Amino acid sequence: MKKIMPLVLLALGLSSCESNWLPKPPGYNRIDLPRHEYNYLEEGYPYSFDFSTHSTVEADSFNLEEKDWINLNYKEFGAKVHLTYKKIDQSTDFKTLSNDAFSLTAKHQIKAYGIEEAILLTPNGYSAVVAELTGEVPTQFQFFVTDSTSHFLRGAVYFNTALKNDSLAPIIEYIKIDMAHLINSVNFEKKEVNKN
């Protein structure tokens, strides 16, 4: 009887287990975000603006010929804001630049659940177009700021990770606030900048 009892208990234990067990999905890590603080970018570029102290300014390595293209690197968050600048003149007109910006945003329509665009007027009197993308897209926020006669500054936020955007949502919102501050502080220089 003593030898049979453990076998009976084991058989009862095994028969009570469900066969359709599913693992729990992984949880998201807690993200503590710092306060928004800003530095002023002004040296050596035909534009200036406030940028987050939690990002570093780096030369853009994608196109080395474009000396006025920079990245704001949020190393802690694994994100970069790519900023491209073009001077509006006879060879590069406003219509071409704005159409390029809209088509770059539209390329994400395949994966985006939605794209919301807004036209703004900045405190310095420039026009800005902001595009917020939802869904599993590599860039959730794009914008451009222009005076429509001489200067065109475009920005796009990218993440260096394959995580789902749900887990990145707090960081995306944090960087959107920084980008809104940047857009509202953009100023284009009146004089030409000599870059050697």
Is 50 exceeded by the pLDDT of residue 10?
A: yes
Cα(156)–Cα(137) distance, rounded to whole angstroms?
12
Residues in the chain: 196
Is 70 exceeded by the pLDDT of residue 48?
A: yes
Q: Average pLDDT in the 68-93 region?
A: 92
pLDDT of residue 3: 65
Other C-beta atoms within 10 Å of 143: how many?
27
Is 80 exceeded by the pLDDT of residue 21?
A: no
**pTM > 0.85: yes or no:** no
At 149, give phi and psi (nearest 5°). -125, -30
Q: Which domains does the chain have, with CATH numbers?
A: 50-188 (3.40.1000)
Q: Average pLDDT in the 34-47 region?
A: 92
Q: What is the band of 193 on the pLDDT scale with cuts at 50, 70, 90?
A: very low
- Structure tokens that stand for 99 in this block: 């159409």
In three-state secondary structure terms, 102 is helix
Burial of 176 (0-12, 13-18, 19+ CB in 10 A): middle
Which pLDDT tens digit goes with each residue over 53-64? 999 999 988 787
